[in-house]
């Protein structure tokens, strides 16, 4: 077992705990020190602090991936680092623990990480069969029959990557309103597809039953936090658009929606909450705005903003906003993403929804 944390007390505490359970342990005070050890991924895992001096925990994770060292990572961090850790989890971390954590939670995460390492050596044919099953689940979630209402025009697109991810979107009409949701479950493969299916059902059932948006998020968060899901969590946005232009939205750590006003002015809806599935005590709140005829609301998954060029640069928020401000259609935005990536394969699904408000009397 490897432990990287710049706090000597934390290192000593984890070292003592793991040795008492029969593990061999090596501890390090920095990422650079760890890399000098030339770690291997054989029957081991890494307990890694997010905030480290010099090379951060996220930087170390990227370095290991780049050198093809596929060691399972358990991130430990302070509560305030949760938004940063979301990206770490999407890059493949096995678990995420906030300090202070219980000994049993760390030990459980380590055992889960070791089991995953063993599972990664399963027969290749069985793995591909799992991916095929996950692909069918995901394709079903993307096969949305989008309803249209007189006061809004909704369109959506999905550009899948080579692996099976956890994206989905949903469009539902309830009375004189239309509700649009977009979500992204951390990770890929069968587990992500199954969690996507569960979350999709929770959101759609809640919306159709007129459950308040914060309560939908709280229920989903409690459901996932109470179960052993191997550090699975999800980010999502739900927009409830009324016929008179009033919009209520709930953002659970997802990419902030883009609002394009008539004339091209762009701003982001940045009121946000924690993701669901990480912290059981998290609370959730909505925010609101007013849209006018011809205003557009654009929702994307981070597969769009984090699409990478051959030089390793992200497509990013600025390019997305510039495309939206210029009046680009969804097809044109996706074309921009493809051109930006050139020959690089997508590392995550790209999903995008647009809701254009037409006016109460349209």
Q: How confident is the model at residue 130 (pLDDT cuts 50, 70, 90)?
A: low
In the chain, what is the straight-line distance between the N-terminal and C-terminal CA atoms, in Å?
Answer: 63
pLDDT value of residue 168 = 85
Mean confidence (pLDDT) of the chain: 84
Nearest to 358 by CA among 297, 289, 300, 267: 297
180 with 164: CB under 8 angstroms? Answer: no
Q: How confident is the model at residue 128 (pLDDT cuts 50, 70, 90)?
A: low
Q: Residue 194 belongs to what H/E stretch?
A: helix 189-208
Return the higher-pLDDT residue of 338 and 116: 338
Return the higher-pLDDT residue of 129 and 185: 185
In this predicted structure, the answer to whether residue 257 has a pLDDT above a threshold of 90 is yes
pLDDT value of residue 143 = 59
Q: What percent of the chain has pLDDT over 70?
A: 81
pLDDT value of residue 147 = 87
pLDDT value of residue 362 = 73
Residues 245, 344: Cα–Cα separation, whole Å: 40
Question: Which domains does the chain show, CATH number per domain?
Answer: 2-119 (3.40.50.2300), 141-357 (3.60.40.10)
In this predicted structure, the answer to whether residue 186 has a pLDDT above a threshold of 90 is no
In this predicted structure, the answer to whether residue 53 has a pLDDT above a threshold of 60 is yes
Q: How confident is the model at residue 98 (pLDDT cuts 50, 70, 90)?
A: confident
The pLDDT tens digits of the residues spanning 206-240 come to: 999 999 999 999 999 999 888 766 557 899 999 99
pLDDT value of residue 209 = 94
What are the backbone angles phi and psi of residue 301, rounded to the nearest 5°?
A: -90, 165
Using CA of residue 53, residue 56, residue 60, residue 61, what is the dihedral sign? positive
The pLDDT tens digits of the residues spanning 302-349 come to: 989 988 888 878 999 999 999 999 999 999 998 898 889 886 777 777
In this predicted structure, the answer to whether residue 276 has a pLDDT above a threshold of 90 is yes
In this predicted structure, the answer to whether residue 23 has a pLDDT above a threshold of 70 is yes
Residues 6+ apart with CB under 8 A from 333: 304, 320, 323, 324, 352
DSSP E strands, 95-147: 95-98
pLDDT value of residue 255 = 95
The pLDDT tens digits of the residues spanning 279-297 come to: 889 999 999 999 999 999 9
- For 304, counting Cβ atoms within 10 Å of its Cβ (0-12 exposed, 13-18 middle, 19+ buried), the class is buried
pLDDT value of residue 317 = 94
pLDDT value of residue 90 = 56
Give the chain's radius of gyration (CA, Å). Answer: 21
Residues 152, 259: Cα–Cα separation, whole Å: 14
pLDDT value of residue 118 = 60
Per DSSP, the three-state class of 174 is strand
pLDDT value of residue 87 = 60
């Amino acid at each position: 077992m490897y432990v990287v944390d710049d706090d000597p007390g934390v290192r000593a505490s984890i070292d003592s705990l793991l040795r008492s359970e029969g593990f061999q342990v090596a501890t390090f005070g920095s990422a650079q020190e760890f890399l000098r050890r030339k770690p291997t991924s054989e029957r081991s895992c890494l307990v890694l602090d997010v905030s480290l001096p010099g090379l951060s925990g996220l930087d170390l994770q990227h370095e290991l991936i780049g050198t093809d060292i596929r060691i399972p990572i358990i991130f430990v961090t302070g509560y305030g680092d949760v938004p940063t850790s979301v990206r770490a989890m999407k890059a493949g971390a096995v678990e995420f623990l906030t300090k202070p954590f219980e000994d049993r939670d760390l030990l459980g995460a380590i055992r889960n990480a070791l089991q995953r390492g063993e599972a990664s050596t399963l027969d290749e044919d069985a793995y591909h069969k799992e991916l095929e099953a996950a692909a069918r689940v995901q394709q079903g979630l993307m096969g949305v029959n989008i309803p249209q209402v007189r006061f809004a025009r909704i369109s959506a697109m999905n550009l899948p990557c080579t692996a099976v991810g956890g994206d989905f979107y949903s469009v539902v009409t309830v009375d004189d309103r239309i509700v649009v949701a977009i979500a992204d479950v951390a990770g890929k493969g069968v587990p992500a597809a199954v969690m996507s299916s569960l979350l999709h059902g929770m959101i759609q059932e809640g919306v159709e039953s007129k459950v308040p948006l914060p309560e939908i998020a709280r229920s989903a968060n409690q459901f996932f936090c109470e179960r052993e899901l191997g550090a699975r969590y999800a980010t999502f946005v739900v927009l409830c658009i009324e016929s008179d232009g009033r919009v209520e939205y709930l953002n659970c750590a997802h990419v902030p929606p883009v609002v394009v006003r008539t004339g091209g002015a762009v701003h982001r809806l940045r009121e946000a909450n924690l993701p669901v599935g990480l912290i059981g005590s998290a609370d959730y709140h909505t925010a609101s705005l007013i849209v006018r005829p011809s205003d557009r609301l654009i929702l994307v998954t981070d597969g769009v903003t984090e699409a990478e060029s051959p030089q390793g640069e992200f497509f990013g928020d600025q390019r997305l906003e510039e495309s939206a401000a210029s009046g680009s259609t969804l097809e044109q935005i996706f074309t921009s993403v493809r051109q930006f990536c050139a020959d690089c394969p997508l590392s995550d699904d790209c999903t995008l929804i647009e809701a254009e408000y037409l006016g109460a009397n349209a």
